[in-house]
């Protein structure tokens, strides 16, 4: 992904609601499945790490992006944004 595409996705992420929260159990198989399904349906998702988690947002972002084959778009504070092009529901066109 080039810098222009990443900037486009960051702009789109500003209006997204956080749909996935990482708690004290960290990145579990259930969390990975939820993120995978959300990425397939939406392509771009915003996640957050709860204060009681032992993971930082960067650690959670890296783990989830690796396990869901998604690209980390942005990580700020306790929130991060992931992108993965859907095989079926292509919603976002990147140039």
pLDDT digits (tens, 9 = 90+) for 6-22: 999 999 999 999 999 99
Residue 93 belongs to a domain:
no
Q: Which domain holds residue 23?
A: 3-83
Report the candidate in 66, 63, 82, 89 with the shortest Cα–Cα distance to residue 19.
82
Report yes or no on 56 lying in a domain.
Answer: yes
- CATH number of the domain at 25, please: 3.30.110.60
Instruction: Let me know if 8 is exposed, middle or buried by CB neighbors in 10 A (0-12, 13-18, 19+).
Output: middle
Q: How far is CA 3 from CA 8, 9, 92, 94, in A?
A: 9, 10, 16, 11
Structural domain includes residue 91 = no
- Closest by CA to 64, choosing from 25, 24, 33, is 33
Torsion over CA: 27, 12, 1, 58 (sign): negative
Q: Report yes or no on 89 lying in a domain.
A: no
Give the model confidence (pLDDT) of 29-88 as tens digits.
999 999 999 999 999 999 999 999 999 999 999 999 999 999 999 999 999 999 998 777
Number of domains composing the chain: 1
Residue 75 included in any domain: yes
For residue 91, the model assigns a pLDDT of 66
CB atoms within 10 A of CB 18: 13
Check residue 16 and give its pLDDT. Answer: 95
């Amino acid at each position: 992904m080039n810098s222009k595409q990443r900037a486009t996705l960051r702009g789109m992420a500003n209006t997204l609601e956080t749909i996935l929260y990482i708690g004290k159990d960290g990145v579990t198989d259930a969390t990975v499945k939820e993120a995978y399904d959300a990425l397939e349906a939406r392509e771009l998702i915003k996640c957050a790490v709860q204060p009681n988690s032992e993971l930082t947002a960067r650690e959670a972002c890296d783990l989830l992006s690796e396990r869901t084959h998604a690209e980390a778009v942005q990580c700020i504070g306790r929130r991060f944004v992931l992108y993965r092009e859907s095989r079926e529901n292509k919603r976002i066109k990147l140039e």
